[in-house]
Chain A
């Protein structure tokens, strides 16, 4: 850069700086108003702003070129003019607020004026023309300031365009007829829509901001004018409320996102391990949210009422530890098995009293208990299905696998979340491998050398796995049976292992079997993705089998307990009768007081619900212990050993055999899903389980985050996260359904214990509902219910549902067919259009937007065809930092401000690369200083030599 220019420019800026600032400030407000006014008359204009801009630019170009010739002499005049104007406008540096107020005032005035439009039109028109001129002038000056020049340019463009069209439109505006109001309304709606969808538009932020401002101004201005006469106030009120509502919604949205926990933690994990590992943590978080709600239900509607309003501990037998257990009730070993005080606390079913109503609020606890128990399932089902539906919308619509193998790999395989060098390296490697695999596949299409051997191996593998599954099922059954025998023996004689055998064995199986399956699966030699599916399916089967065996064994136990309970019940009833008989014969009275026995001494039944609840809680706890221990030993200890023993070992531990652990996504997800299944099943018998689960998830979040960041390495083979979200959800749904079955079965068929729990004394649990319907609801409602439960009505209802199912199924098939047809048609149409188009002009909006996203044309040296421009044109446009080179900017504009502006927007097909590297051929007019250079940070990096 020649140094003298700097001086020159500095002076210029000193001279001009202030005025420009002022002028532009007040001017832009002015313009905004004007624009808003004019916009009313051009509805179609708004719909295609892009093309308009272009036109404007083209319109403007010649005009400016003409003007440019006398740019220099005019300069001072213009300045004067500007100065005057700014004086008129109540002085420079009017802060924005002030200007805005002003503009608002004026817009009101405008509105008034509009009413008595007839006379004012001509005057107004003149005014407008004046303004237009100024606008242009200003535009030129605006360019002096390197800073805001772009924006202003746009403003000018807009204003000039609007004013050019305004003269024709003004006459239309004179009277606001019905039709016009309707049109106006439509436009306002359109604007609103634009505001709402602005974020989805692929435009530059600047343009978006400008458009937003415009649209908002427009809406603001005309919304009020829409209502008429009486309706106006109401309308204004409505508009105001709508605005408030929007604001509130946004604030609420902000609040909601602020409430989402662990955003940063997950981001850390994500950037280290890619989206697949993070998807597990997101799933964990989702689960936490779900469980929080369940916890809210359980504690808010069941546990708290019972604690606050129910009878206190020790008042009735079910809330008291029996005499023979009281000595050991506080022992740690007993408590850790959830015996002793735990067993008779609010954590378990048995604690709850069967009074129909409790407390001053007359809270119907038994009813609430049943409804919450069922409601938990209902809510979970709803949430899971809703999430699945939402996820399925997001996923790609799934072309046939293999249609786009290479292009998908090319364009969608990089995980943009990765921010860790190691992961990135792994990703590079895995992408390379997958490409190579695909190439090999493509080249030979998998010739099977010995298909018989492979088949045999696969059958063998499946046989082995089936055996393992059966074996594990039997083992569990055996263990549960044995534990029942143990339970009958004296507790003191049993070792810890014998007491916790069931949980221990189940956890052990869960730990050992998956790796075993993986080893067996080696035999099969499937493609990794298919292998993964098999593996998941097998682990799923294992867990499920174990869980159900456990359940069946439990049901055996329950039935046994029901038998003993019956005898105990008979015994108690008999004892009571004896007592009554004795009492009445002894004191010779019929008014017998109840037997005075301490609640701790009352004979009581085994309370099978508590036993089931304890079983589930123990299972969950041991699951937690095992999984945490696995992490601690399998990941942390291993990492420590590998890290520190590596200094004195004969081979490289880090790269060689033990190496660091990888995060086992599928295993963890399945673990979480099954844990949730146990919670669902157990929550009915142990309300405290939900709370326990909350703690588990919470600690697990922190613990696993720590573990994964501290001792795991990124995957070498990256587990496909594709649609895995819905995959997890599908698993969850299945587990939910499977855990729903036993609970509902128990509620419907087993009779509750006679002396514990909220349903004691009822024949069936759901009798609570019946009772409520009969006693508390108005009689006609209970009538309706009795009709509704009539088999004669249920049968037709079921039939109807089946029919509806059939119908909907048929309809959905029809839709699918139509969908396919449409897709095919679309494809055909696309082909046709392409053939027709000859790559000449792009017709659709998206293409235009796309082109608009090309680097700003005006920042690039003009093609050689144009009249040779002085070198500083580009500088003027390009240098964005007036701080550093204000001079160049100012001068450049003064000399030659229009060429670059006049360069048409790249609407025409772009056949040359606009980038700097190809530059204008023969552009010997000196360097092309990009903004980067302007800042003295070295030129723009040119990386993409093609």
Chain B
């Protein structure tokens, strides 16, 4: 703190303007300078949230709802591994099982 005050004094002498003698160089991390909240508010409403909105639009445009084509079932041994039953239900369904897109080790449930 003393070193910072010394720097502040030297700087104000060099610049010849009114840096407060006890003032330390303001960084937006350490202490809120007046107006920096306004900048972050602007960034939130004009950059961050519109960015999210554009990305939402992108997802919507790219989504094909009610797709009927799904990959044919091939009983690869490295997929649908069941070394031990799951501790829920019948022990054969993963936690986020979706019958439309997740086949069991024996194939799709609705075929």
**Chains A and B bind each other:** no
